[in-house]
A and B are shown apart, each in its own frame.
Chain A
């Protein structure tokens, strides 16, 4: 198992390296001199040269590249061009909100999606299955800014169980849970819809395998056949979808953050885009890619835990 973990970790390194290189190139390709963007069109050549020297953009490209890689390796992503605050500080200020939302949505998605998918698979082509499929299609076709607004109307305005502005106090776990619930339901229901579909398909496949018949021939109770023998063999595609979706949630929850008025990584990214904060964008891209690589690494490691055959390759 340890060898497997080390191999996966080593395999993640080239990905990170490629990502860093790509980000570096993209930022350099974007037209316009960052110094002039910061100072404006009327800047004197001396002032511009001073800013270039501070940013390091007067150096040859290979030097900038090495400096960039070195900084990234030590966790230094530079400072925002607009606020001058370190990017890492900006990100770590909002990251807990994003992690809360992502984790809570994931839990809701799994807790609803897996049982619903299994239930649909066990009642294939009967009313329950059709209902589950229709509901999950509905869930997939509802954008979060619509479902979010309905949830707010019902649970925040009509019943007043939840706040309209979900900016939680990070030091108060109960407050965090209370304020993450509504946006997490909005995101989690869509995720549950995906998981339901994948679980249904994977369970239909695994329940028709020979080892299920063997388990039944051993006298294993049906419930255990389904939840132990069937589900474990069906879990690779389920874990894949959860991993992909968590990756999407981390960066793409900006709509949810806007609808529910919560801070988060998505809002920071959109803010940097609006302000043309290039250094911020560069740092955010690297951090975002790093998070995606970590999620994929966890997914890969889970494959190995679920299916011993994966560890061999």
Chain B
């Protein structure tokens, strides 16, 4: 078994382009590099193949460092098929392929009988044999690729490296070529490393996918199922107007927006799959204990499970939370285990899933890690960072986690009982489907969880994806007797059209399942913060009459600071990463950062600094919030090594200096703008409401105007900085800012309907609740929870 490994590999032409690459290519397996054009896929391939000297790190095959052996020896292990082929006139395909025998032929390159046999057989395998005597330059692109593949194969490599082999092919050739590679890898036990653009093909053939982000990082190395989620692909390629279908791998025009894809949750079940029998008893006894406690507790539970990922569970949980809240109950969401890449950091610096944060908001309470005690952040195809109660306890391989998982049950139990102390109702969300019969044993996210909490279950089916009756009935049929009895209601979600057509089916469904359909919920377009909307927001690029650009720092935090602007028509919010985009802004904002020093360095290195200074020089308005405010100053010093101990000079636009301190300032603040000058003069005396969360103090050393109260911010000319997050959320603040910009640009905007951020969000949740109320039999839902409120 041969295996290619890269360790700590940094590649680039002279200057590092992609750093710290650690990937592997195993015999018989296919590893595919994906990423947008020009991010450096070919550079990686060239470096692996030894065409380009790595800047740092090593490439090994079977523990032999490739830089220690001659190119001749490398060529015996690895062959190459790059893009950009030179064509040689008057050369038959056979001759082209025969060049691949270079290492095997004598000094004059004589092709002997055994070479000939190998060449012809390989050409047959790749489908190039029929035109072996045809001139190569006369072939079509697809035929050429077959020939070139044969040429690479006659080298008898252990590792085959291909650079975008399918790029110029029509769809039939693409499919055929991909299938061929898959078969070759297996039959010949060759490890294949390649780059590819057709993600629908990658999905089918890749064993491992290496994702390179737009800013040239190895963003993810994982099995293909963990990569091909709608939003991940969209964020990787920064596409906004198109949708990526994670099931089929198609890209299509976005006409209808699906809310809240839950595809990542599918893999949660896989982790649940295996568990030793030993822990079974232990777990049962734990469950019993929890059940005992639940009997004492007066808290009511309801659990929402789905027939599949993306059935719309998260939003239904959010809607239920809001409905219960409106009805006067104290309610909290709960999901025992989340698998997600983007987490939310609570005020205490703890990590949890974003969906529960959104649901907590709908419930009108602050998010707490107890709502999501276990968070798994995938690190590669087999491992995850395990976060329990908001704190990372380490990286674990899937297998390790299986063994470890049972010991987390007390944590789930504790979280649930903590929540029940303060709440009347807890709405629990499941993950994926409860009917994954191969994975059901020792489940703690779906029916297992329902049993722990002794919660009634409503099962949600997704009619938008078709087969909703089969989804619901099939799921129920696959449940155990006791589990089936837990399902008290069915919901058909994402319905569009005339419900009367559905009615006879519903009747039959109820008859067959003996479970009532408690609601048919229409397709809803609700703007809420969750993981999915996050990446969409970062990647969309639109142009409005007024363009507000927010610099997308690598460690950006508190991006909701600017959501309030999005409600205004003709005002566009863009998150920018390229220096040339800065100039398009009418208002530039540097947001908060989780690592100010690192992000300041990024600003300098990415050329943003020059662009920002040029922008400021034109007297255009620039606002820095929190970390962004610190960056506007002269310097940021870190004597106590809060962020690594480096001092860095800032943009020098405001005469202030920042010293980072280990104490964290966390507080809610209210105040008035003090002496705002420049374009936003009108802000003076307007009230703001927000919060501070930062490490460090910033002092001015020149006589400049205060911007926000209590020395939390200063301004000079059109440069403004403040520590206050949520500074723009109030209606009057946002309208004044937009109005000032509109006046300067000589345009008129309708700002009548603008509301502040909180009420904007509240409105969305209310709309969600109202819609659901209209289509759900709430009475029946209350009844199944054991609440009678007539």
Q: Tell me whether A and B are bound partners.
A: no
